Structure 1
């Protein structure tokens, strides 16, 4: 795993496709432990029902094929607490997603994680905005993104030319990265 950024309590490491077997086995085990029904409740179907190492391996392969995947580690213990996902669209917009295991909720870790990502994105100057899609029933994530300066994008009404323009279950939040 490649180090990407650190915060006061977290180390965020990019998961490489060619990870060492011992790293991969530990990672897959952690996936089965973290992706509990409560954690994945508001996430897409491919996050659901990850109960075995084989399920975790399929999930990991899908995640790595769709986006850049990062393990979120406790800086002191090295334990994986969750994951960060970054999908680059049009080379300028980074769609982000994140999850933390239930045991790590309510400690400000998600806020610290996303603040660190914003700082990295500002420094790297690769993207013009970060976009987070949140299930509308996930009030905690919506509140977190708003608190960090993300603005909800107005829903686009479906039309004859773009019938699926609106997804009534997902709200999108944008953070515009200002350049120095």
Structure 2
């Protein structure tokens, strides 16, 4: 199942081997401006130091081997962020990030709501699981607002939240 979709302000495009060279190039060029020190501060080491086209090409190739990767574009076709999906049996571990200049505009909510609506009724996944640094209050609030439940486990300063997709579709107005 292709995971591309559109929201009010975002075009979300799955990037994989069949994606156009234009999409790959657009993402590669944008990565050094998106993966800034502030954006990747609490992310694993392999997100750090992506400050050149060469580093971006290598990072992108590695990510495409490890996970499903969705590129977020504004209505003006500018790359504004990423959504990562790591699958494990019937669960999908997700991560997302936005370029710093797009923080606080409600785009992460719009992205995740659109993604949940897409996969909630039609995927083979039972749960979405998101890990977030305990200091990332905006993301914690966002996940709770989207009906993710906090899990009891905490690892290395990371909190984990999960959303049971088998409860979808939700009643109107829940999200």
Q: TM-score, length-normalised on structure 1? A: 0.87
Separation in structure 1 between the aligned mates of residue 158 and residue 49 of structure 2, nearest angstrom: 21
Of 128-137 and 118-127, more deviation after overlay is shown by 118-127
Which residue of structure 1 lines up, in the alignment, with residue 36 of structure 2?
A: 36
Which residue of structure 2 lines up, in the alignment, with residue 65 of structure 1?
A: 65
Which residue of structure 2 lines up, in the alignment, with residue 158 of structure 1?
A: none
Unaligned stretches of 5+ residues in structure 1: 156-165
Which residue of structure 2 lines up, in the alignment, with residue 167 of structure 1?
A: 155
Which residue of structure 2 lines up, in the alignment, with residue 4 of structure 1?
A: 4
Separation in structure 2 between the aligned mates of residue 123 and residue 110 of structure 1, nearest angstrom: 20
Which residue of structure 1 lines up, in the alignment, with residue 46 of structure 2?
A: 46
Contact residue 132 and residue 140 of structure 2 kept, 8 A? yes
Which residue of structure 1 lines up, in the alignment, with residue 86 of structure 2?
A: 87
Contact residue 67 and residue 87 of structure 2 kept, 8 A? yes
Alignment partner for residue 148 of structure 2, among 138, 147, 150?
150
| Pairwise CA distance, 1:139 | 1.5
Which residue of structure 1 lines up, in the alignment, with residue 138 of structure 2?
A: 140
* Count of residues in correspondence between the two structures: 167
Separation in structure 2 between the aligned mates of residue 118 and residue 24 of structure 1, nearest angstrom: 25
Residue 62 of structure 1: SS of its match in structure 2?
helix
1:50-73 CA-to-partner distances (Å, cap 9, x unmatched) read 101111011111211110000011
Contact residue 125 and residue 179 of structure 1 kept, 8 A? no
Q: TM-score, length-normalised on structure 2? A: 0.89
Higher gyration radius (CA): 1
Contact residue 84 and residue 98 of structure 1 kept, 8 A? yes
Unaligned stretches of 5+ residues in structure 2: 170-175
1:101 to 1:9, Cα distance in 2 relative to 1, 3 A: same
